[in-house]
Structure 1
Amino acid sequence: MSAIPLPVYQLYEWNHAILSPWRAVADATRVFMQNPVNPLSQTPLGRGMAAAAELFERTTRRYGKPEFGLLETMVDGQATSVHEKTVWHRPFCNLIHFERMLPAAHKKDPKVLIIAPMSGHYATLLRGTVETMLPDHDIYITDWIDARLVPVQEGEFSLDDYIEYVIEMLHYLGPNTHVMAVCQPSVPVLAAVAVMNEDGDPRAPASMTLMGGPIDTRISPTAVNDYAESKGIAWFKNNVVMAVPFPHAGFGRRVYPGFLQLSGFMGMNLDRHVTAHQDFYSHLIVGDGDSAEKHRDFYDEYLAVMDLTEEFYLQTVQVVFIDHSLAKGTLTYRERLVDCTKIINTAMLTVEGEKDDITGTGQTEAAHTICAGLSDDMKVHYEQPGVGHYGVFNGSRFRSEIAPRIGDFIRTHDQDLNLIASKAKKTKKV
């Protein structure tokens, strides 16, 4: 007789509900102990109680979706306001445009579609990526929607749907769009570009940049890759897929919960996270506000997670980490074989991090072998020394060394800029 599975997701929700009044008490304690009118606020006891209360509240909180908060950027040395605008919508995704209020004389910048990973965290994880690219590019980004918020009647969302969404967004943005895929979306983006190139689609992107993506996980397999392959798809279906509990809008939808993904990521570096929280407590005690604020900013983002649909999650595990379908040339989209050798009109840049422990070195570069029909002058590979997975798309090395290379690559293959340069050249000759 098989055991009745525990309603883990429901227990998780109950746990949050039970802790709610205690979080309220902890927050009130923090406010009281930090109030300058309170004489205890200036004592070691008062600071210790305030720090402990904040630490408890933060470690038991459910973190909501963060904001991008990008209200301004620098264009041509001038501060320019930025407005977030949803320009395209589907049940599982919004397309956000970071609209810059540019002067009329400003020349047209390359149009870039950033495909954020749908792997548990929100698109705001790429805030630094967007912020770095904004001054010189017209930026759009996929804002994936938490599956527990999507009613069951909206239907399923599979890997095929993901690829279709990418194609539809590229159609919406029109010709001469440049697409950037960060980590997980490298596979569906490469598939979408292959389909569009094979169809001779005039709205196929002018270039694609694949960053830290698991194109071929047989190369330099990481702990993440080994874990997926050793367990098998049946284990994932039976152990990590759960029904969304009431009262969420997606009640009844089968999902891979974000809190499980987060637990896995934190478990890989548990000592580091424990130390970070100990340091946070110490910073609060001694009044090191800057260090404490950095901790808050990081974990406000890191601990905000979203659910993935069952079909998308299981298909991704099967196709990318177990079957290696794209690398072997057996991946299908809507029962149609995806042939990456048909990519001939979309230039490709692959970027990897030397110390990436999630996507091993060489996994993204494998796209160059798969895209055998693409001429050498249309593909470039770059490995950034000294960075891990997140350093590929964020941080000081990204800003100073990776982003400029991406910008140069995009401008080299931008059809509008090439047309302007060609006309200028002809005018000069005349």
Structure 2
Amino acid sequence: MWYAFIDAQRRLTRAFAGALLAESGGSAPSRSHWFTPENATDAFSQWLLRSACAFEQPPPFAIGPVAGDGRWIAVEESVVASLPAGALRRFRRNLTTPCADPKLPVLLCAPLAGHHAVMLRETVETLLEERDVFLTDWADARDVPREAGPLSLDDYVLAVEHFAGAACALGSPVHAVAICQAAVPALAAAALSAAAQPRPIASVSLLGGPIDTRLNPTVMNRFANTHTLDWFRDHAIDIVPPPCRGAGRRVYPGFVQQAALLAVHPERHLHLESDYWSCWFAGDMAGAARALRSLNEYAAVLDMAECYFLDIVRVVFQDHLLPRNLWSVAGRHVDSAALRDMPLCTIEGDCDDITGAQQCHCAHALCGAARPASTRIRRRLTVTQCNHYELFTGPRWRDAVFPALRAFWSEAEDIASNGRDERGTTTLAGVSGSRSAA
């Protein structure tokens, strides 16, 4: 297979790019002298690294102060829980004075679909305007020793459940938000933890998640459903070479994912590259730096363990175990009806060609009807002129998706604060009904 050759090429590329950057001095360019050999060398080196998937580490989040509550708020980043599958990263708003109206934090479940979680930096920054954020930062399988286990889909469901409990233990329940593929393990984890005390998840929001890929299947859905697991095993899986910590582990490599993304969605990569180079040639070096940051985050791909990758193909795209109520995780049946009283919000984009229409909204039917004595909040939103990535980045995310989530969370918290019984126990249920936007 190709992994050993590609990895050697990566290391050579890193050494070459590192030498070029050292020679250019690595100084930040300014508009007054932007068109210099040193700046051109730096731009070429960055292009070389991302084109060859040669980043040794993903770009840092490095989130600076965010605007919120009419002021600038510093952000503290830390890792509060770790598992072989990944880490729970906490972004805490460092308020100089206590907030008069404290809000529950958000647990942002990043998709494990070939990108590092840093691709969601803009999403995290926006959420931090109002709330603290916990983020599932999944590990690159090439860096996880084989003795740590197979890293199956079950492992990631249990990791989300564990991370939700860890976040809750730090002070309060969380609003779970799952993006794209993360919707499946997040919904399963919420169902498994529904009976836990204290209840760690206050609400569930799913953004473009492939809950039932039988509905309006996309090209990607049909491809996954018309190729056998043996075909994927023979054509998409490779072995991590030494000296990587995960040497010997069978993985779906990040460089294969990058090639697949370029083949299926070349327009996104070209848009990001165009933004960067147009700023660079215009002498807008501040704009070029911002565009480069986004471009490098999108180019930061990772390896997925073979077990997880094939589990996703089988469970989500071929056997449809979640919508058929046939899925068990580590011997525990995933009963989505356990979420019948859980506040639930689903959001889709009407131009999404990765997750088909209604594949995410169908979660409402799967979670069943509320008990007669309970109330609940159910919201569904379809954002116009919105593709898959715009559900969590760019103007559609900031102007349509985030305001809808903010209103949903506020309503869930209002209902919860007014739904305490005589013992002071909070019932995290909402008002029945749904809201649609076309």
Is the CA contact 2:342–2:376 (under 8 Å) kept in the aligned structure 1?
no
**Is 1:183 equivalent to 2:175 in the alignment?**
no
Q: 1:55 to 1:344 in 2, by over 3 A?
A: closer
Could you tell me which amino acid in structure 2 is paired with residue 387 of structure 1?
C
RMSD: 3.2
Shift of residue 196 of structure 1?
2.5
- Residue 427 of structure 2 aligns with which residue? none
Answering whether residue 156 of structure 2 is matched by residue 157 of structure 1, we say: no
Q: How many residues align?
A: 412
1:26 touches 1:54 (CA, 8 Å); kept in 2?
Answer: no
1:372-391 to structure 2, matched below 5 A, reads: 372-374=368-370, 377-391=376-390
Q: What is the alpha-carbon distance in structure 1 between the residues aligned to residue 178 and residue 39 of structure 2?
A: 45
Q: Using the alignment, how far apart are the partners of 2:100 and 2:66 within structure 1? A: 14
Query: How many Å separate the matches in 1 of 2:163 and 2:29?
Result: 50
Contact in 1 for aligned 2:85/2:159 (Cα 8 Å): no
Aligned to 2:72: 79
Taking structure 1 as reference, are residues 161 and 274 closer, same or farther at Cα in structure 2, changes over 3 Å only?
closer
Offset at residue 165 of structure 1 (A) = 1.2
Seen in structure 2, the aligned counterparts of structure 1 residues 379 and 70 have a Cα distance that, compared at 3 Å, is same
Provide the rounded CA distance (Å) in 2 between the counterparts of 1:201 and 1:274.
48
SS in 2 for 1:350: strand
Matches within 5 A, 1:260-409: 260-270=256-266, 273=269, 277=273, 284-285=280-281, 287-289=283-285, 292-374=288-370, 377-409=376-408
Identity %: 32
The offset of 1:88, in angstroms, is 1.1
Instruction: Give how far 1:93 is off.
Output: 1.4
Query: Retained in 2: the 8 A contact 1:176–1:415?
Result: no
Q: Structure 1 pair 235/300, CA: closer, same or farther in 2 (3 Å)?
A: same
How far apart, CA to CA, are the structure 2 residues paired with 1:49 and 1:113?
A: 40
Give the whole-Å Cα distance in 1 for the aligned partners of 2:114 and 2:251: 11
Question: Where does residue 89 of structure 1 map in the other structure?
Answer: 82
Aligned residue in 2 for 1:218: 214
Distance in 2 (alpha carbons) for counterparts of 1:58 and 1:170? 33
Q: Give the residue type in structure 1 aligned to 2:7.
A: E
Post-superposition offset of 1:121: 0.9
Deviation at 1:141, TM superposition (A): 0.9
- Tell whether the 8 Å contact from 2:176 to 2:205 is kept in structure 1 after alignment: yes
Map 1:13-28 to 2 at 5 A.
Answer: 13-20=7-14, 22-24=16-18, 27=21
1:253-287 per-residue CA deviation (whole Å, 9 max, x = no partner) reads 11111111111011113366468657855664554
Q: What's the secondary structure of 1:215's corresponding residue?
A: coil
SS at 1:413's partner residue? helix
Match of 1:65 in 2: 58
CA contact (8 A) 2:179 2:208 kept: yes
Mapped partners of 1:23, 1:223: distance in 2: 37
CA distance in 2, matches of 1:289, 1:108: 39
Counterpart check, 1:9 vs 2:3: yes
Change over 3 Å in CA distance of 1:331–1:80 after alignment to 2: same
Structure 1 residues 171 and 252: CA distance shift in structure 2, 3 A: same
Q: 1:356 Cα shift?
A: 0.8
Corresponding residue number in structure 1 for 2:434: none
Using the alignment, how far apart are the partners of 2:303 and 2:352 within structure 1? 24
Match of 2:127 in 1: 133
**Residues of 2 paired with 1:54 and 1:149: CA distance?**
23
Equivalent AA in structure 1 for residue 78 of structure 2: K
Which stretch shifts more, 272-281 or 208-217?
272-281
CA distance in structure 2 between the aligned counterparts of 1:379 and 1:307, rounded to whole angstroms: 36
Q: 1:193 to 1:18 in 2, by over 3 A?
A: closer
Moved more, 172-181 or 75-84: 172-181
Find the aligned partners of 1:253 and 1:150 in 2 and give their Cα distance.
8
| 1:74-110: CA deviation from partner (whole Å, max 9, x where unpaired) | 3321222110011111122111111222213533211
In the TM superposition, what is the alpha-carbon distance from 1:18 to its structure 2 partner? 3.8
- Aligned with 1:179: secondary structure? strand
Change (3 A) 1:134 1:240: same
- Find the counterpart in structure 2 of residue 3 from structure 1: none
Q: Aligned runs of 1:99-114 on 2, under 5 Å?
A: 99-102=92-95, 103-104=97-98, 106-114=100-108
Structure 2 partner of 1:144: 138
Cα distance in 2 for partners of 1:202, 1:165 equals 18
User: Would you say the 8 A contact 1:206–1:415 is kept in 2?
Assistant: no
Question: 2:35, 2:156 → 1: CA distance?
Answer: 54
Gaps of 5+ in 2: 423-438
Q: Which amino acid aligns with 1:155?
A: G
CA distance in 2, matches of 1:171, 1:275: 39
More helix by share: 1
Q: Distance in 2 between matches of 1:382 and 1:111?
A: 22
- Partner Cα separation in structure 2 for residue 245 and residue 182 of structure 1: 31
Code of the aligned partner of 1:94: A
